[in-house]
Amino acid sequence: MDWLPTFDVIRLGHRVDRDKRMTSHLGLTARALGADGMVIFGDHDPSIVQTLTEVSGRFGGKFNARFGTNPMGYLKKFKQGGEDCPAGTVIHLTMYGESHLEALPKVRRDRPVALVVGGAKVPGELFGIADYNVSVGNQPHSEVAALAITMSEWFKSVALESRFSNPEIKVLPSKSGKSIFDRKKEPL
Ligand code: SAM
């Protein structure tokens, strides 16, 4: 398959006073583990988009972070698809769902995916809109942990580092100390 379907993270219920770090960490984790973008619903907070855009500028690749309105409407449209975009699959991360190890192998890989994480209480309607309600264990924990474990399982065979094109700086794996290429100092 030469066309790689998009994978976006959907952050619900962002609260500007309580969730700044959590939502930023969701975006950073989503980007680092292979997502194409994140759509944030809730309080409008442009500083988060700015942070994620700056990180992509420095460390490479394209990550489309943006705010949206009407999350349930967005997800319904995403599932339906349209002229330019094929119908997508909605995966909702929730401690009440079926195990990610059982659910993920059933998800089609030839369609765009929207991976939804909650913040404050999620609308009950979401459970019906989602194609899959998926848990990472059935204990309450963190949206960042649930996202990371799910994405690690989904992208396990994809060479992620090659996606971060045109970086200003690139960190190279090293057994000791820091190994960093800086484009301004020497070409990559
Ligand atoms: N207090 C909120 C509520 O009543 O819905 C839940 C907050 S929880 C910290 C935030 C999000 O983390 C959830 O909406 C879900 O996406 C994710 N999450 C937490 N535990 C999870 C689990 N065991 N499996 C999958 N996702 C989980």
Full-prediction pTM beyond 0.85?
A: yes
| Any atom of ligand 1 within 6 Å of the Cβ of 94 | yes
Mutate to test the pocket of ligand 1, among 121, 143, 147 (most ligand atoms within 8 A of CB): 143
Is residue 188 a part of any domain in this protein?
Answer: no
State how far the alpha carbon of 152 is from the alpha carbons of 85, 143, 149, in Å: 25, 14, 5
Which pLDDT tens digit goes with each residue over 120-131?
889 999 999 999
| Any atom of ligand 1 within 6 Å of the Cβ of 81 | no
Reported confidence tier of residue 109, pLDDT bands at 50, 70, 90: very high
How confident is the model over 81-105, as a mean pLDDT?
96
| Any atom of ligand 1 within 6 Å of the Cβ of 121 | yes
What integer pLDDT is reported at residue 184 of this predicted model? 82
Is residue 109 a part of any domain in this protein?
Answer: yes
Is residue 98 a part of any domain in this protein?
Answer: yes
Is residue 178 a part of any domain in this protein?
Answer: yes
Domain that holds residue 158: 7-182
User: Per the structure, how many domains does the chain have?
Assistant: 1
Is residue 187 a part of any domain in this protein?
Answer: no
| C-alpha span between 153 and 100 (Å, rounded) | 8
Kindly give, in sequence order, each residue whose CB lies less than 8 Å from that of residue 162, ignoring residues fewer than 6 positions away: none
What integer pLDDT is reported at residue 11 of this predicted model? 98
In contact, 8 and 34? CB cutoff 8 Å: no
Is residue 1 a part of any domain in this protein?
Answer: no
Task: Read off the CATH number of the domain in which 140 is found.
Answer: 3.40.1280.10
| Residue 135: strand, helix, or coil | strand
How confident is the model over 144-164, as a mean pLDDT?
92
